[in-house]
Structure 1
Amino acid sequence: MRISRMVGYLLCLMIAFILLPLSSSGEAGHDDTIVYYIPVEQTVERGLEAFLKRGFETAKEQGADHIVLEIHTPGGAVDAANNIARLMSESDIPITAFVNRDAISAGAFIALNADDIVMTPSANMGAAGIIDGAGNAADQKAQSYWLNRMQVAAEQNGREPLYALAMADSSIDLPEYNAPEGTFLTLNAQDALEVGYAEAIAENRQELLTYLGIEDAIEVEMTVSLAEQIARFVTNPIVISVLITIGSLGLMIELFSPGFGVPGILGISSLLLFFFGHMIAGFAGMESILLFGLGIILICIEIFFSGFGIFALLGIGSIVTSFLLASYSTVYMVSSIAIAIVITGIVAIVMFRYFGNVGPWKKMVLQETFSIEEGYISNRSRDDLIGEIGESLTTLRPGGSALIKDEYLDVVTEGRYIEQGRKIKVVKATGSHIVVRELNSNH
């Protein structure tokens, strides 16, 4: 009951996070110019994409006249940056990128997709070389694609593509902008203004509005709700691996623990957090959670009511499918599941080796032993019959019945045929297997 109540509180808290309202700095009338400020901060990933999608939709619904993306990011995932660029191109509302600190890598790409770029005096933009998950330069195919995207982003807004290419291609030599061959171009505010990669330099929002010619605009600031902050954190590929690993470890360790304790709570909480974050980000639906719940039920059925492995396989398949459906990247999810399986498998072997006789796990392992001293005999040895004389009660072909020491026994010959009523002698007894020979036999 306590566990159910805790889970209920957690779900209620999650719903409250979802319903957190947007904050604004004023209310607009019908004739007022409305500017929406949307922050583009921290790492560019799919959680940020989901937040910007909500921001653009809200701005359109509220009749915004201008959107300002306040950019301060070190970059991030190429796929998320591409999707954000698509959102920007599909928007009917003019968009200004206000680089108030740094627009690095994917951040520079996002800025280049805006209608205008305005930078603070200390801002920087560039260093957009593409790297893989291990931090090394991406393969030639990925680099070629990214260079094309950077070039198109520059050209579509009338900017000289050379500088966009230099941001992503270290072979381009621009020593006059501190980017000799072998380094990626990073433009400061003055350099960006000089080469046409910034339309203006502004110290703050008010100067930005003055440049845009809407000094008296109503300013509305989109804020990232706590739920969206969680979603952005949870959808990070590294965090996904950690959550799935903690979830599987917690539930596995619970099998070795009496009752339901901390490992189980951590395991369930990690998995709930995974699904919650992916639901907020728009990647997971109820079907993912239902499949996951079904998988847990099937595995429990296998544990407590043996189904010869069928229910376990169906349960594991259901859980893996639920993760894949909730993920924005099959590659990331498969690698995360693989990591979780390896770590959980290693811990399971250790736990089974040293703690296999405790907790619910002991219900799946035979603990009792049956010994002769306790009266359990699986195969009684009849060594006492060796050398005894008896009589064949049936024809032995080579098996049949015999009377030996006033006992009716099943016997077998050494291979010879012995007729009924003949005298026989026990020559061997292995467990219940009694071998006889005809008494007058020469063998």
Structure 2
Amino acid sequence: MTNPDRRGMTGRILMLASLLCLALGALLAWQAQAQQGERAALVMTIDGAIGPAIDDYFQRGLELAEERDVELVVVQMDTPGGLDASMRAMIRTMLTSPVPVALYVSPAGARAASAGTYLLYASHVAAMAPATHLGSATPVQIGGGGGLPGLGEPEPEPEPESVSESQPDEAAQDSADGQTDDTEVTETGETAAAGEEAEQAPAKRRGETAMERKVLEDAVAYIRSLAERHGRNADWAERAVREAVNLTAREALEQNVIEVVASDLDDLLAQLDGRSVVMDDGERTLSTAELVVERFDPDWRTELLAVITNPNVAYFLMIIGFYGLIFELSNPGSLVPGTIGIISLLLALFAFQVLPVNYAGLALILVGLGLIVGEAMMPSFGILGIGGIVAFVIGSVILMDADTLNISLPMIGGIALLAAGLMLWVMTRFIGLRRRPPRIGQEELVGSEALVLEDFTDQGHVRLMGERWRARSPEPLARGQSVRVTAVDGLTLEVEPLASSS
């Protein structure tokens, strides 16, 4: 039978546990509601070259900001530039974002060069910390070829009409109009001054080829449109593209390139309070006072993408993948080289998909590796191997030629030397094998030692490699004597005593 007191205690315990659960649930709900009603600023960090990994991180950060309905996104940036495709994708997302984005070049000593300048112009608020700079926005041509648009010599502009050529016409006109000599001198002086000013005015850089002009003019129009959208200095933006000029933080503020110079994040939020920004749906007034700062730092996914899309890593993965497959095909069933090779090759192909790859360089690398392997499989006294190394080095150098995403020359040289060493080792091994005596067939028997089975003077029998052979000797031989094979005539061995050969 059950004790009534015990049942009552159990019921009280269950009731108390239920009340505690309800209280805990109410507390969690209240905290969630308080967090939803709390005004916050989401802070992100961009440190390094603009590429696919940074683009993915930036897109996810703005999506998170929209989900949490934060007041402002602050991106602390320090970048030397990066890929045009990634930069434009980030700008498109930023311009259509319902959450204002403030790009803040910090900490002291940071820069917003090249692609960073475009991002700064596209942001709703452009801010910099003291001792930072921006500029050098000239686009770099990807995919080989010479020139860097805007960095070469400017195209020759038509020279202004010289004063000496214009003076006779002016004099004739003056005489026809009855003007005085003083007027003529004055007009001639003005013409000369205008000519001198025209000579001193720098010509705009427009590129040396049609392709360079197209890239340069497209970049100028793009950055000017961003500047006009937010009311910033479009003329300096054009100079940053054409002439690769730079500005410090204080100069950028004075020339209306940025809106704020802030010493730290708190100073930035304090200065932005009450400022109007241009959004996709119109103007909006920021309210940044007493915002709670939430950080969204790069996670493992961003780090992994950054590692894989590093040109040196992608290049090394391709080499590992190629040799892994070669070793697997040379030794079927090994499994380990093939598994590592296929995984490395797939990762390299993913990286090449998002990197500025010159496919002529990629083809040269594959051809070079194939020729090196061909030298090992079919010796050609170095012709295939040397050609393969030359093709491999040239292809590696031109594989990726962006300013901030190039392959390390020491890595190229190291891998080329490794391939050359492997080829040299294979060649020496083949030469050594050619010098060795044959180990199969009748040629293998010449020079071998045999044992005489019976006494004989001209012909008899010997034991060689466990077999009984008919033998012929110019000297008498005794049973048990050791002889050396000097020649093979059909099924008869020519032998001689070991003593006579020494």
TM-score past 0.5 threshold? yes
The counterpart of 1:234, out of the listed 308, 313, 326, is: 308
Query: Which deviates the most, 134-143 or 66-75?
Result: 134-143
Residues 322-358 of structure 1: CA distance to partner in whole angstroms, max 9, x if unpaired?
x8xxx246x72745642442232023113314869x9
Task: Tell me which residue corresponds to 1:349.
Answer: 374
1:208 maps onto 2:214 in alignment: no
**2:269 aligned counterpart, secondary structure:** helix
1:130 maps onto 2:139 in alignment: yes
Per-residue deviation, 1:28? 6.6
The counterpart of 1:79, out of the listed 82, 85, 97, is: 85
Contact 2:232 2:258 in 1 (8 A): no
Query: Which deviates the most, 244-253 or 121-130?
Result: 244-253
Task: Tell me which residue corresponds to 1:247.
Answer: 321
Amino acid at match of 2:246: T
**1:348 aligned counterpart, secondary structure:** helix
**1:130 aligned counterpart, secondary structure:** coil
**1:224 aligned counterpart, secondary structure:** coil
Task: Tell me which residue corresponds to 2:277.
Answer: none
Amino acid at match of 2:224: Q
Task: Tell me which residue corresponds to 1:426.
Answer: none
User: Aligned residues, how many?
Assistant: 277
**2:134 aligned counterpart, secondary structure:** strand
Contact 1:241 1:336 in 2 (8 A): no
Task: Tell me which residue corresponds to 1:185.
Answer: 245
Cα distance in 1 for partners of 2:89, 2:103 equals: 16
The counterpart of 1:105, out of the listed 87, 106, 114, is: 114
- The unaligned stretches of length 5 or more in structure 2 are 1-31, 150-211, 274-287, 380-424, 430-438, 444-502
Cα distance in 2 for partners of 1:262, 1:226 equals: 27
Task: Tell me which residue corresponds to 2:357.
Answer: 332
Q: Residues 33-44 of structure 1: matches in 2 within 5 Å?
A: 33-44=39-50
Residues 264-298 of structure 1: CA distance to partner in whole angstroms, max 9, x if unpaired?
465244235447x76xxxxxxxxxxxxxxxxxxxx
Residues 382-409 of structure 1: CA distance to partner in whole angstroms, max 9, x if unpaired?
xxxxxxxxxxxxxxxxxxxxxxxxxxxx
Residues 205-224 of structure 1: CA distance to partner in whole angstroms, max 9, x if unpaired?
11111112324212111121
1:271 maps onto 2:345 in alignment: yes
Q: Residues 10-49 of structure 1: matches in 2 within 5 Å?
A: 29-49=35-55
Cα distance in 2 for partners of 1:40, 1:270 equals: 28
- The unaligned stretches of length 5 or more in structure 1 are 1-25, 171-183, 279-322, 359-368, 374-443
Task: Tell me which residue corresponds to 1:155.
Answer: 228
| Runs of 4+ residues over 6 Å off in structure 1 | 369-373
Cα distance in 1 for partners of 2:33, 2:300 equals: 23
Task: Tell me which residue corresponds to 2:257.
Answer: 197
Q: Residues 402-441 of structure 1: matches in 2 within 5 Å?
A: none
Residues 31-85 of structure 1: CA distance to partner in whole angstroms, max 9, x if unpaired?
3211111222211112211111111111111222111111100001112111111
**2:36 aligned counterpart, secondary structure:** coil
Per-residue deviation, 1:111? 0.7
Cα distance in 1 for partners of 2:293, 2:34 equals: 9
**1:71 aligned counterpart, secondary structure:** strand
Residues 174-215 of structure 1: CA distance to partner in whole angstroms, max 9, x if unpaired?
xxxxxxxxxx22110110110111211111111111112324
**1:68 aligned counterpart, secondary structure:** strand
**1:159 aligned counterpart, secondary structure:** coil
Per-residue deviation, 1:99? 0.8
1:222 maps onto 2:296 in alignment: yes
Amino acid at match of 1:91: S
- Percent identity, please: 25
The counterpart of 1:143, out of the listed 216, 235, 256, is: 216
Summarize the Cα distance change of 1:28–1:229 in structure 2 as closer, same or farther, 3 Å threshold. farther
More helix by share: 2
Summarize the Cα distance change of 1:27–1:159 in structure 2 as closer, same or farther, 3 Å threshold. farther
**1:30 aligned counterpart, secondary structure:** helix
Amino acid at match of 1:55: G
Cα distance in 1 for partners of 2:103, 2:234 equals: 18
Name the TM-score, length of structure 1 as normaliser: 0.56
Per-residue deviation, 1:246? 2.5
Amino acid at match of 1:196: N
Task: Tell me which residue corresponds to 1:165.
Answer: 238
Contact 1:27 1:218 in 2 (8 A): no
Amino acid at match of 1:204: D
